[in-house]
Amino acid sequence: MDWCRYRFRSVWRLAAPPEAVYAALECAEDYPRWWPQVREVVPVDETTGTARFRSLLPYDLVVTARARRRDPAARVLEIALGGDLEGWARWTLSTLPDGTGTHALYEQEVEVRSPLMRALAVPGRPVFRVNHALMMRAGRRGLAAHLRASPPPV
């Protein structure tokens, strides 16, 4: 087992149509407004930006994200990551079976490149996983509130 590699999967159920969820997730520079752990997103160009985030642990991670797939018809957003985390992350959206909202699947495969996190890879792994889970839980709550506050135009 490579203690510096992680695979994450989260499922969010959101009471908003997939198009509204896609539009919110596509605007990464707005994440700090609704996702407390995303401290900063700075666009570099149309497909690349840097992001700084911190969850429960008192340690910032900085990544460069580059769009790999932006497909509104398929409702897929995928980025390549570099910096403290190297790998990829992807959102795949679909309508809930009962038609009442969105099923948002988040998948991420990364290798930790941060020297401190690599040094703490074995003893820190359970804490890093909990840290990620807490960040994702807060992200779901924040996005749900953001979507309620800004409903799509009719």
Does the pTM surpass 0.85? The reply is: yes
50 within domain boundaries: yes
Within-domain flag for 135: yes
Tell me the CATH number at 77: 3.30.530.20
**What pLDDT score was predicted for residue 152?**
59
* Per-residue pLDDT tens digits for 85-104: 999 999 999 999 999 999 99
137: left (phi over 0), alpha (psi -120 to 50) or beta: alpha
Number of Cβ within a 10 Å radius of residue 3: 14
Asked if the structure places residue 106 within a domain, the reply is yes
Can you tell me the distance from the alpha carbon of 93 to that of 106, in angstroms, rounded to the nearest whole number?
9
Both tokens assigned to 147: 């979507």
Mean pLDDT by 10 residues, the chain (154 residues): 93 97 97 98 96 92 97 98 98 96 98 93 93 96 95 57
Number of domains present in the structure of the chain: 1
CA angle, residues 106, 78, 57, in degrees to nearest 5: 55
Q: Residue 76: inside a domain, yes or no?
A: yes
Predicted pLDDT of residue 1: 72
Per-residue model confidence (pLDDT) at position 80: 98
What pLDDT is attached to residue 151? 63
Q: What is the pLDDT of residue 60?
A: 95
Containing domain of residue 55, as a range? 5-149
Amino acid at 80: A
Which of 69, 42, 67 lies closest to 53 in space, CA to CA? 42
Strands of the sheet with 102-112, listed across from one edge: 5-14, 102-112, 85-95, 76-83, 61-71, 48-53, 38-43
Residue 154 located in a structural domain = no
